[in-house]
Amino acid sequence: MKHNLIIRILALVFILGMVTSNTFAQGTGKIVGKITDKKTGETLIGVSVKVTGASKGTTSDVEGRYTLGGLETGNLTVEFSYVGYPTKKISDIAAVSGKVTNLDVVMEESGQMLEAVVITATAKQESIGGLYAQQKNAISMSSGISADQIKRSPDRNTSEVLKRVSGASIQDNKFIVVRGLADRYNTTALNNTMLPSTEPDRKAFSFDIIPSSLVDRIVINKTAAPNLPGDFAGGMIQIMTKDVPDQSFLNVGTSWSYNSQSTGQDFLSNSRNSRDWLGFDDGSRSLPSQVPGSFQEYNPLSNQEKVEKTKLFSNLYPQQSSRALPVQSYQLTWGNRKTFKNSSSLGSVVSFNYRNAQTINYVTRSDYENQFQNFAYQYNDDEFRYSTVLGGLANITYKKGNNKFSFKNIYNRTFEDNYTDREGRNTNADGFIRFNNSDLTQKTMLNTQLEGDHQFGKQEKDNRLNWNVNYSLIERSQPDLRSIAYRQSFQSPEDPFTVLDRNSRRFFSDMNENNYSAQLNYTRSLSIFKNKGTFKTGLMKLYKDRTFDARIFQYLFNPTGSTEFDNAILSQSKDMVFSETNISSNGGFFLSDFTQNTDTYQAQTDLNAGYLMLDNALGKRYRLVWGLRAESYYQNTDTRSLGGQDISISNTFLDILPSANLTFTLNEKTNLRFSASRTVSRPELRELSPFTFFDYVTQTSTSGDPNLLRAQITNLDFRYELYPKSGEAITAGVFFKDFSNPIEQILDEGGTPERRQVTFQNAQGARAFGVELEVRKNLGFIVESALLRNLTAFSNLTYIKSEVELGARSNNRSRALQGQSPYLINGGLQYVSGKSGLSFSALYNRVGQRIAFVGNAFFPDVYENPRDVVDLQISKRLLKNNAEIKLNVGDLLNQKSIFYLNMDDKTTYNSSVDKNFTTRTFGTNFSLALTYNLNFNK
């Protein structure tokens, strides 16, 4: 019923939009754009902009942007003038009624006052020049993707978008891998503010929580610069959400998706409550408030008191079946732009998004004993994933003259309930196993920031000051993770399955993290040896505090050893066995609290950083960006040992991080770049904590190591860049990285097939060498035809060779760095026809085999096998280009995901030699999306 209500509301908005679209489409034209310096790529502020032969005029604002509104339709000529730059006149600019024409302009400094010189160009020529300036003038080596490219892919969220960026791949459908390095070597910023990790067990940001439709652009910085955080070696990912729109608009969209192995199939779960569809548990899964707040208070209770407390817990084990519905998503976005008489403007973007998915994965799990000759267990798991994503964005920006103030907010709520239905055999248990596990995870991210940008000085471009204050909240809870297992003896297949006490548990955990940050950057233009340059300096502070609490309960069967206990109870169904009638201290069950002292920790980090940076030209062809960054980092974790003694783990690091980026401009279209830098990778709070979490599904336990050291990395990069035409790029580069004390996720030697023990450990050192190639080329050069003029081919390839120095842990073997892929491949074709409104894209992605877990002397490395992923999209614009319909096909090949034990010296997967650890199939997705956009041209 609630889903139907949402559909009706969106349908009403859509219908009203179609009815009123013609009304709002009428009116005058508007020309907008950004003005930049050709040599440095910096925005120019205070540029005079006016229409030739008319009284219309304006100046560029603090971001170098200008807006000319209320223009009569037709082809116009616009004049751009600025002190120290030749006047530029751009002709053939189309002003279209009810539409916005975008024209970015590049101006070149004259070196002397040439007020009488006028440079003329057409709008088409200027658009090409603007693109070159953006692509060529980045400070560091980077790769990125724009909002327009995002729209032409079937990607729903930011994690899927990132797969398209050169040198990037995605792990577990949400964590980024740059240049084949594990996610721990990346840092993420949202609107210029560093984001915390969303995961309690790893340093990683879950990119699937940000819808792609809210993203304006994404840039992955692959080389360091003094003004960037120093805690990365793979990539510094910058996500910019939509800010001030060029015109007011209302956009509504919906999509429906069919999964080939999920939609319409039987979908199993424990009981669902009335708020799950909204992404909020209604409290029925929470730890009852009357239950003592710690195991120290609970365990001294008498058996009868424990019985009474156990009866307070809801019996959520009953299994229910339904039909898996199509994946549904809805979005409503409103943008408003208001220009005032004093040339100031107020812009805002507000967006709400909702997504609900019910998918089924088919998984096999195996482990081995007796020198891997026999199975320790073989399981077939059906994983039923019910997920709801609810989010919103609200950005407000005010600009007046050389000042800009922004208030930006993003909220996301992710609700994911994973229900596992298992059947299989376990040699250690000497029987057949039936197992069910319900793992509900609720994640909340709230990020709010206030920022300002100000330009001042004798010349308006001389001095620039920008600042940012930020608060982020990360919450993650697991309310009532519960498991139940039944066993039937190999020797007595006629006997019923009976409950195993040790695998029937209930787990509750909460993580709360507050992040407070502020930064200040000052930029001054200057002249160095008669060459234009820029001096930049800044300060940053980031403080975070985290609390984590977990409670673990286990059902004790017949705890008093009563002779009245009826063993037939153990064969009762899941919905009956733990019902209230069987909760008793005499011939029944009750919950025992076996939480440990290490299952709770508190932690804080305090990062203080400052930098000095010079960006200066060395003659006409060379540009050197160099400087120094200093970071002081304090980290503290407070917990208790198993015996109850207080433990405080503290580390303080001071890192001096130099970097230099040299660019040699061969000609208007070509760059050579060289970069050298020093960066770090620090252990996360969870990696230091001795807290141990046991995952009954994967049968692994994860714990931290308080003795971890930070990794230090030396980075060298070289790249050739060619930009032949607008929208085209050809780049080739090599990179080298030297790691000292890299942190890896390993399997401890004490593990068994029933409990593989995962922890973190420093290797002695590692080196990685890589080659990157990227091509984006329009195919119109092959033969003159309308088809090929609209067709673009693109591909990026990355090859990496890494080797770890293992020292005493070598065991006479060499291997790649954990998480390091030997190669990454992205490629595709894109067809876009402006006249017909038809577009098509075919995308391909493949990531080479990589170590998921480092093995030990008794257990080989666990690798993830490559998959070929093919995605297709066809779209058509309708209703005077105000509407668009898209048909997407995701993961067309639906190849298995395979994790395997590497049993020989060759890392590539060999099904006749290597042992399967985990395999999974996801199904192919077919989706239909419809969006409608209303523009209000004022």
E-assigned strand segments in 17-71: 29-37, 48-51, 57-59, 65-71
Dist. CA 830–CA 247, nearest whole Å: 28
Helices H / strands E in the chain, number of each: 9, 50
Dist. CA 838–CA 885, nearest whole Å: 10
Dist. CA 288–CA 417, nearest whole Å: 20
Confidence of residue 10 (pLDDT cuts 50, 70, 90): very low
Q: Is the pLDDT of residue 7 over 50?
A: no
DSSP state of 213: G
Phi-psi region of 92 (alpha: psi -120 to 50; beta: other; left: phi over 0): left
Confidence of residue 480 (pLDDT cuts 50, 70, 90): very high
Q: Is the pLDDT of residue 190 over 90?
A: no
Residue 735's pLDDT is 93
Which residue has better confidence, 556 or 677?
677
Tokens of 2: 């609630």
Which residue has better confidence, 819 or 450?
450
At 692, is the secondary structure helix, strand, or coil? strand
Q: What is the pLDDT of residues 219-251, one digit of tens each?
A: 788 888 999 999 988 888 888 777 777 778 888
Confidence of residue 698 (pLDDT cuts 50, 70, 90): confident
Please give the mean pLDDT across all residues of the chain. Answer: 84
Residue 264's pLDDT is 96
Residue 6's pLDDT is 43
Confidence of residue 154 (pLDDT cuts 50, 70, 90): low
Q: Indicate the range of 112-116, 322-326, 509-513, 856-860 predicted with least confidence.
A: 112-116
Long-range CB contact pairs, 145-150, < 8 A, 24+: 145/217, 145/218, 146/217, 147/215, 147/216, 147/217, 147/242, 150/212, 150/213, 150/215
Residue 766's pLDDT is 92
Q: Is the pLDDT of residue 121 over 60?
A: no
Which residue has better confidence, 615 or 370?
615
Confidence of residue 187 (pLDDT cuts 50, 70, 90): confident
Do residues 60 and 49 touch, judged by C-beta distance below 8 A?
Answer: yes
Q: What is the pLDDT of residues 361-412, one digit of tens each?
A: 999 999 998 888 889 999 999 999 999 988 888 889 998 888 999 999 888 8
Residue 386's pLDDT is 96
Highest mean pLDDT among 233-237, 638-642, 743-747: 743-747
Dist. CA 362–CA 357, nearest whole Å: 16
* Those residues with Cβ within 8 angstroms of residue 243's Cβ, 6 or more apart along the chain or in another chain: 216, 347, 349, 395, 397, 406, 408
Cβ neighbour number for residue 264 with a 10 Å cutoff: 11
Describe the chain by its helix, strand, coil percentages, rounded to 5: 10, 55, 30
Q: Is the pLDDT of residue 938 over 70?
A: no
Strand 498-499 vs strand 505-528: parallel, antiparallel, or unpaired?
unpaired
Q: What is the pLDDT of residues 543-564, one digit of tens each?
A: 999 999 999 999 988 777 777 7
Q: Which residues, in sequence order, are bridge partners of residue 295?
A: none
Q: What is the pLDDT of residues 759-788, one digit of tens each?
A: 988 988 999 999 999 898 889 888 888 888
**How far from the centroid of its chain's Cα atoms is residue 43's Cα?**
29
% the chain with pLDDT above 90: 37
Residue 479's pLDDT is 92
Do residues 155 and 164 touch, judged by C-beta distance below 8 A?
Answer: yes
Taking Cα atoms as reference points, which of 248, 356, 344, 243 lies closest to residue 24?
Answer: 248
Q: What is the mean pLDDT of residues 892-919?
A: 93
DSSP state of 503: G
Residue 129's pLDDT is 45
Q: What is the mean pLDDT of residues 538-545?
A: 95
Dist. CA 903–CA 734, nearest whole Å: 32
**How far from the centroid of its chain's Cα atoms is residue 5's Cα?**
31
Q: What is the mean pLDDT of residues 78-86?
A: 83
Residue 327's pLDDT is 94
Confidence of residue 73 (pLDDT cuts 50, 70, 90): confident
Residue 811's pLDDT is 53
Q: Is the pLDDT of residue 9 over 80?
A: no
Instruction: Compute the residue count for the chain.
Output: 938
Do residues 715 and 230 touch, judged by C-beta distance below 8 A?
Answer: no
Do residues 428 and 377 touch, judged by C-beta distance below 8 A?
Answer: yes
Q: What is the mean pLDDT of residues 676-680?
A: 95
Dist. CA 66–CA 80, nearest whole Å: 11
% the chain with pLDDT above 70: 87
Instruction: Give the largest Cα separation in the chain, rounded.
Output: 107
> Using CB atoms within 10 A of its CB, is residue 902 exposed (0-12), middle (13-18) or buried (19+)?
buried
Tokens of 615: 């960006």
Tokens of 457: 């000085």
**pTM for the structure as a whole:** 0.84
Q: What is the mean pLDDT of residues 694-709?
A: 86
Q: Please identify which residue in the block is written with the tokens 């980024």.
A: 176
Residue 705's pLDDT is 87
- Name residue 792's amino acid: T
